[in-house]
Chains A and B, each alone.
Chain A
Amino acid sequence: MTSLRRSLVGVLVSAIFFLALSVPPAHAIPAFARKYGLRCSACHVAWPVLNDFGWRFKDNGYQLMNDRDAPIWQHPSYWPVTFRTTPSWHLEKTNRASVDVGSGVNNGQVGITQDGFDLSGLDILTGGTLEKNISFLLTPSSDNTGAFHFESAWVRLDNLLHSPWFNFRFGKFELDNFISEKRTLTLSAVGGIYQLYHFVPPNDVNTFGQIGDNQLGIEWQGHSFNDRTRLSAALFSSNDGNVNLQNANTYSGFFNISQAFDLGGLGQQRVGAYYFLGQAPTYSLTSAGVPIPGSSLGNKSFNREGLWGDFFIYKFEVPVYFQHGSDNPHFAITPPGATSPPTPANVPLPAAARAPTWDGFFVEPRFIVSPQLVLFQRTEIVRMSQQALRGSIPSNLGDLNVYTLGYRWYPIMTSRAGFAFHNEYSRISQRSAAPDGTDLTSSSVFVGFDFDF
């Protein structure tokens, strides 16, 4: 019996040895990978970040343009659906949070640390083609309590007039951000978003200029045959992607242009520019003091513009992004007798009022060790260049410093599923934002398994 056990152990050890040697090398929306028989790495620098081939595939309407893109070419059992979720352990720490002390309300402040096992929520990504040159994406997405909303829901007419310059998308979609927040490598509570894609100054209530949020509208996108030149223009409702025409008759626009070029053997480099021009209401008609939905009035404007680039130096990818932003002061100033902004457009502003403006950038170097391992770091800086009220607001209120560091390891890489071990640390410091006027600092540690299938 003992010898049998030893023999079994021997065989088991050998088997493990063999398996360790034969772990398959090197992944995406696996629904696409399954459809085309390509590994995720074909379209992704490191899942979920797209590479140039992945961008061309996306810009062509989720088509490889090999005349087999229409669903009729797929086996009838093929279903274009992908589930993605991320079970994790994470730690969140804030240095100064307002707390009640004694009978007082919010008159104290403490540091708070919380940690534990958690879920990310669930993305159900269904996308592909309805017919050749008609593509779609539908993404019912839930938070970690299971409450669903539609993250994306659009249909796109691709390559109209047989030209890659005429593509029209209709529905709820991600703005044409080449450095996509929906495809970011970062997952932690602090580092999981690009702050600049959502930034508004403290007390500013304009939530409609968020480049990172999916929007409801129509988009024209055109690109050269090899996708080196990309242009897009989107017109969408100023609802920040929310349904039911909350801000009726109000629209915003987003424009993006980019050009890629080879730089010897270093890789393909891309530079681009964007402009987000919008307007949003500052008040509504009321009935019995309650705002009437859809009766918004007093539109005021806002804008975000900047340059970006995506540079490669062999295995280093370095996306950089600059932004100058400006909001109308009505969004940031509390009118007399009210507790919070905005100041309605028909109410005069104080003499010291002016448009709050800011400048910011982020740089996110990624070292792509292999298609199965990527190390990343991000530094994001935002500086207020002008506060909404001259003299009465600290000049640095709202300034942000964010640092993120992490890696993703993809132990398997096939055309059937994506699986990554994700580890990340991120820290954000907001100047003068703590209750006592000092800096407010939060940090996240994130360890989890990110997978889709």
Chain B
Amino acid sequence: MHKEFIRSMLFLGAALALALSGFSYAQMTEYEENQRLGMESHIDTVTGHAAAAETNYRRYCTGCHGDLGDGEGENAQWIDPKPRNFTLGQFKCRSTPTGTLPTDEDLYNTIGRGLINSNMPQWLPLTTHEKVDLVAYVKHFSPRFATEKPGTPIKVPPEPEVTADRIKAGQAVFQRLECWKCHGATGRGNGPSADTLTDDQNRPIKPFDFRDVTRFKCGSTDQDLYKIFMTGLDGTPMPSFSDSVKPDEAWNLVFYLRTLQPMNSREKQIAKQLGLKPINPNAAPAGAAPQPHPEQQEPHQQQPQSQQQKQPPSP
């Protein structure tokens, strides 16, 4: 009887220890969180406070980004692309050089703009204060924001006039930088490397399809496009080309990329007048025999595969 009592006490003790360990773990993370809830953000004259955004974060963001900001919300398993892991302090849409932290304004703009072709909507109806508070809350998840300062935003030189020469030069940059390897010769996002790409967390990722949408993940203006390839999209295979492209060349590339998009634009009109053909990735040095253009052969074969990839995993 005595042994039985001791045994049962041991069981109870073990169970209680298990429960308490969970509780103390929760307490510790809560403590750490409280430490960081003092995080602030600043947009113009508005100061955001992480602590003020807790309710709104749980209301709007937790389902995907998770309570801990680790991108492991309850819906994350059904979402492609996966939600951002805020704890890493790594963000695609920045005005700052690759590897650096984004500015508060970068995060603020991302919240309002959303991310096209993803589950991240435009949180436009939220008030300025709510969005600024959320910026602080997003920052509080990563210790990087406590120890590092954001990078210095890159300078975007004034946009030059669009000309036929610039578009042709942009196409040459597109070929030289081998953008086509991922984005495809016509910008459809189906280059030869497209199926092999993974993000920093080793998850498959698809290159941007220029022909499908009218705006980009990180904005819709020429300046936004300029910034995308001069800062890179951190955490993705899209690198920064700031070291290998001069500002003037970058503008040329912007103009050429506009010709790949579906909507009518000045660039597209000029490209049409020029009779601009897509690049030929297999183009050999002058004098070599021309080879057939891969995308001119199989645009319709590529489409079903591309759509199949866009389906979320079956439940």
On A, residues with C-beta under 8 Å from B are 2-3, 6-7, 10-11, 13-14, 17-18, 21, 24-26, 36-39, 41-42, 51-53, 55-57, 64-68, 72-77, 225-228, 262, 264-265, 267-268, 370-371, 414-415
Which of these binds chain A: B62-70, B172-180, B293-301?
Answer: B62-70
| A11–B315 CB distance below 8 A | no
| A10–B129 CB distance below 8 A | no
- Kindly identify which residue among B8, B74, B125, B314 contacts A6, using a CB–CB cutoff of 8 Å: B8
Q: Chain B: which residue is nearest A14 at the CB level?
A: B15
| A25–B58 CB distance below 8 A | yes
Q: Which residues of B contact A228 (CB under 8 A)?
A: 125
Q: Which residues of A contact B124 (CB under 8 A)?
A: 56, 225-227
CA distance A268 to B11 in the complex (A): 55
CA distance A371 to B54 in the complex (A): 11
- Kindly identify which residue among B7, B8, B62, B125 contacts A268, using a CB–CB cutoff of 8 Å: B125
Q: Chain A: which residue is nearest B55 at the CB level?
A: A370
| B213–A67 CB distance below 8 A | yes
| B315–A77 CB distance below 8 A | yes
- Kindly identify which residue among A3, A64, A265 contacts B8, using a CB–CB cutoff of 8 Å: A3
CA distance A41 to B62 in the complex (A): 10
| A37–B11 CB distance below 8 A | no
| B127–A262 CB distance below 8 A | yes
Instruction: For the complex formed, measure the closest distance between the CB of B113 and the CB atoms of chain A, giving whole angstroms.
Output: 10
| A64–B128 CB distance below 8 A | no
The interface centre, meaning the residue of A18, A76, A262, A265 with most chain B CB atoms within 10 A of its CB, is A265
CA distance A265 to B19 in the complex (A): 40
- Kindly identify which residue among B63, B117, B311, B312 contacts A67, using a CB–CB cutoff of 8 Å: B117
CA distance A270 to B136 in the complex (A): 26
Query: With A10-B12, A25-B62 as given contacts, are A66 and B125 in contact (CB-CB < 8 Å)?
Result: no
Q: Which residues of A contact B8 (CB under 8 A)?
A: 2-3, 6-7, 10
Instruction: For the complex formed, measure the closest distance between the CB of B281 and the CB atoms of chain A, giving whole angstroms.
Output: 27
| A7–B121 CB distance below 8 A | no
| A371–B11 CB distance below 8 A | no
| A37–B19 CB distance below 8 A | no
Q: Count residues of B near A (Cβ-Cβ below 8 Å).
A: 52
Q: Which residues of A contact B60 (CB under 8 A)?
A: 38, 41-42, 53
List CB contacts (< 8 Å) of B93-137 with chain A: 114-130
- B212 in the interface (beta carbon within 8 A): yes
| A21–B22 CB distance below 8 A | yes
Instruction: For the complex formed, measure the closest distance between the CB of B260 and the CB atoms of chain A, giving whole angstroms.
Output: 16
| B74–A265 CB distance below 8 A | no
- B26 in the interface (beta carbon within 8 A): yes
Q: Which residues of A contact B127 (CB under 8 A)?
A: 262, 265, 267-268
- B75 in the interface (beta carbon within 8 A): yes
Q: Chain B: which residue is nearest A224 at the CB level?
A: B124
The 4 A-B pairs with the shortest beta carbon distances in the complex, nearest first, are A52-B125, A37-B75, A10-B12, A7-B11
The interface centre, meaning the residue of B59, B213, B315 with most chain A CB atoms within 10 A of its CB, is B59
| B59–A39 CB distance below 8 A | yes
Q: Which residues of A contact B31 (CB under 8 A)?
A: none
Q: Which residues of A contact B213 (CB under 8 A)?
A: 67
- Kindly identify which residue among A10, A24, A36, A75 contacts B74, using a CB–CB cutoff of 8 Å: A24
List CB contacts (< 8 Å) of B2-25 with chain A: 4-5, 7-8, 11-12, 15-16, 18-19, 22-23
- B307 in the interface (beta carbon within 8 A): yes
| B125–A265 CB distance below 8 A | no
| B59–A13 CB distance below 8 A | no
| B126–A66 CB distance below 8 A | no
Q: Which residues of B contact A36 (CB under 8 A)?
A: 119, 121
| B11–A11 CB distance below 8 A | yes
- B146 in the interface (beta carbon within 8 A): no
| A264–B125 CB distance below 8 A | no
| A65–B121 CB distance below 8 A | yes
Q: Which residues of A contact B119 (CB under 8 A)?
A: 36-38, 64, 66, 68
Q: Which residues of A contact B311 (CB under 8 A)?
A: 73-76
Known: A38-B64, A38-B119, A371-B59; 4 extra A-B contacts, CB below 8 A, are A6-B12, A42-B63, A68-B117, A75-B311
Instruction: For the complex formed, measure the closest distance between the CB of B266 and the CB atoms of chain A, giving whole angstroms.
Output: 18
List CB contacts (< 8 Å) of B43-66 with chain A: 52, 55, 58-60, 62-64
Q: Which residues of B contact A64 (CB under 8 A)?
A: 114, 119, 121-122
Q: Can you list 9 residue pairs at the A/B interface with Cβ under 8 Å? A: A3-B4, A42-B60, A66-B116, A73-B311, A74-B311, A226-B124, A227-B125, A267-B130, A414-B74
Q: Chain A: which residue is nearest B77 at the CB level?
A: A37
- Kindly identify which residue among B4, B16, B116, B117 contacts A14, using a CB–CB cutoff of 8 Å: B16
The interface centre, meaning the residue of A24, A64, A225 with most chain B CB atoms within 10 A of its CB, is A64
